Every structure is written in structure tokens, then in C-alpha cells.
Amino acid sequence: AAAAQQATNPLEHDLLTQPVDPAYKGVHLKFPLRRKDLEALIDSFRRKKPHRLHAKYVAGVLIEAVEHLKRLPNLNQCSTAVSKQVTICGDLHGKLDDLLVVFHKNGLPSPDSPYIFNGDFVDRGKKGLEVLLLLLGVLLVFPGEVFLNRGNHEDHVMNTSTRNF
Ligand SMILES: [Mn+2]
């Protein structure tokens, strides 16, 4: 069932049922997220001046990702037994262009070509939210082919007190 349609609390419900203005020109996403949604999101983020993604869809990705991540073990194994290559990418730090280049060169994740993203997805760069949404997006659309390792910038402590990074 669509995690994003199963709001577990009133806040989630409100976030997921926000109306979308008919004049909205950005991407429309459906949940559970599928490859075509992810491709539309990537196309949108590639634009020089992308339309802002509606908060409803941002919430949809986050809520579906939380449900997915809750079910994963703390330790995961990524094997090269099936794949020809494993792409390991670390310290994106909000640099969306770098992530888009990696996907352009190595393609979207597949059983043949899994990805490990070592942490530090956000902070420093300007597009931390876009980077995080794409990483969570590939995690949801290609489960078992994407591994996200938390970095110190994904630690709660980094988001409190003085932002000293
Ligand atoms: Mn770092």
C-alpha cells in the first residue's frame, strides 16, 4: 500500500492532503514513488530554473522514506556477486550537479549497477534538499540496489546548537 497515503498522524495527513493550485507548474508525484516519478523529478532538477516542488510532494517522499527506512536493518550487505560494478559516492554535501553527473554517467541504480552513498548528503552546498529527495527517491524506487550510509551531517547533533560545519 502507498505509505504516503497512510498518514499516521494529523500533521502527516495535513501535509499529504494540501491542495495543489491549478496554476502550479512543477512536477506532480504519485505514491508509492515509481521510476517515472523519479525521472520527472530528475528532469525538473536538471533545469536551470526549476519550478519549486510542491510541499505536498516533498512531504510524500519524506513520509514514504520514513516508513521504508523503519523496516531496514542497521547493517546492510552490498554484494558484487550479481553486479558488474558498484558505484560508491560520498560527501555530496548538497552538490546536486555532482549527483546528476554521477547518474548521467553510471545510469540509475539497477541490479547490475547498485549504489552506495556514503553520508554527508547535506550542508555546505546549496541544494541539500534536492540531493536528499533524489537519494531517498532512488532508495524507494530501487530497493536493494541503493544503500544510504548516514554521515555525521545526518546526525541530530549537527542540526542543533551552533551550525559549525
Ligand atoms: Mn563530509
Q: Point out the catalytic residue in the list 13, 104, 153, 156.
A: 153
- 51: CA distance to ligand 1 center in Å? 29
Return the C-alpha cell found at 23.
496554476
Backbone angles phi, psi at 110, to 5 degrees: -155, 170
Q: What is the mean pLDDT of the segment spanning 20-43?
A: 97
- DSSP, collapsed to helix, strand or coil, labels residue 144 as coil
N- to C-terminal Cα separation, the chain:
39
Residue type, 58: V
Interval between CA 15 and ligand 1 midpoint (Å): 31
Q: Is 93 a catalytic residue?
A: no
Higher local confidence (pLDDT), 5 or 159: 159
Distance, CA of 15 to CA of 53 (rounded, Å): 14
What is the rounded average pLDDT of the residues 15-21?
Answer: 94
More confident residue, 8 or 145: 145
Neighbours of ion ligand 1 (CB under 5 A): 91, 120
pLDDT in tens, 39-68: 999 999 999 888 999 999 999 999 999 999
What kind and span of H or E run contains 117? strand 115-117
Q: What is the pLDDT of residue 4?
A: 45
